[in-house]
Chains A and B, each alone.
Chain A
């Protein structure tokens, strides 16, 4: 593989950048693989990468119905954080933060990781208490957290509404200084390029049509580009999980819902943090191009449409304007939607299944992007060793049966309300 470096950049400049290698190949599927990963999103690519890097398993195919970067890995708001209260969520995400910090060097690809900090705003005394508790839990797990009062928040984000007679006054906030953002496409491309260079076949435009299961064991997968013999399959398809589960005769604690995001026209640097509104569901950051990147609530009904509806967008942006009134002056540049695998307790599932050789990775709700490296790392471990790692032990499928739910927000099973 051609290394990306300043020397190679200069060298290739002399030939007008016409001689760069393709970042990944376009192979024809082989008849047999050791492991097949279904879903070429961030998590699937990361899983294949860590299978090769950590477990020396390189006879791997990634099967993707669409194209690399076309799903949720290219549709998110690029936020990376580990500000969770529960141990299972906090330790898993913090392990991921370490991988994020090393990612650009590890992948030889600039993912533009920017640890600019995230601030969750509080709008009441009660909310400050809740944040203090969460911040303490985070610190006990070795995650950085700072509780800010109103004045401290005002110093960091003076453009927010600090006037006296607003409906949701800012009382303070909880900040995780090491949180931030990264370039989402670069994450997908970086993982794809490295996985490819280690021998993984990335097969795009290839739809899974069925599974070959014998005596409760995986024997193969049927695709639109031919049957493939394989003993281990990792399912990593986010919003399409239920479609494949149906082919496997499984019903899962997952519903597929639509989540929108949007960016404004680019403006000069104004916001150097990620900020979330505490009296609703709205989050905002500013991209390197100057666009304000915003998102919030689900559209609120089961959907596979990958495109949103205006009432939700209006609702979300109303919250944004309540928090930062200057946003009302901006023109909207783009809006888009992605389909989320909403789990019944708001936490993901990375586990084995009752079918031998079938491994499940789903339920990422709003937080799939930031989990990309940790999800890939633990899923690769689970597949390679045929047992879960302690980091994803809490993300079991049967926790809904045993009652060990991981309901970070205490929202219950109405996935569309959160």
Chain B
């Protein structure tokens, strides 16, 4: 069982959360001409890092807020959690 510290609710078991994928993926800017390649990178291509990975989770059975979690994909260690709009240093 993973334990994730929701920045709003505190430490909770993983079963309260739902995963949302790589948090570093940015949607291309609106109203700007973009190439197919940029669109591909946004929709399909992922780095899927081994090691530190910044990812989105939703506290679906709690406050229902989206949060960012910095987690190691090899050891499952969770280093830090952030609010969705919080800057990650």
Contact = CB atoms under 8 A, between A and B. Distances in A.
Nearest to A242: B48
B41 A251 contact: yes
A309 B2 contact: yes
A367 interface: no
A166 interface: no
A279 interface: no
Given A305-B76, A416-B19, A311 B1 contact: yes
Contact of B55 (A246, A302, A309): A302
B2 A254 contact: no
**A contact patch SS:** mixed
Contacts, number: 71
B1 A413 contact: no
Interface residues of A, number: 24
B19 A301 contact: yes
Contacts of B44: 253, 344, 400, 413
B41 to A, nearest CB: 7
Interface in B46-87: 46-50, 53, 55, 71, 73-76
B45 A252 contact: yes
**B contact patch SS:** mixed
Contact size range, B: 20 to 34
B19 A303 contact: no
Interface string B1-19: 1100000000001110001
B36 interface: yes
A416 B21 contact: yes
B29 interface: no
A311 B14 contact: yes
B33 interface: no
Interface string A241-265: 0110010000111111000000000
A305 B47 contact: no
A303 B53 CA distance: 10
A304 interface: yes
Given A256-B73, A302-B55, A303-B74, 10 more contacts: A242-B46, A246-B47, A251-B47, A253-B45, A301-B55, A302-B53, A304-B73, A305-B76, A400-B40, A416-B21
6 contacts: A242-B49, A304-B73, A309-B2, A311-B15, A400-B44, A413-B43
Closest 7 CB pairs of A and B: A253-B44, A242-B48, A251-B45, A400-B44, A255-B48, A344-B44, A304-B50
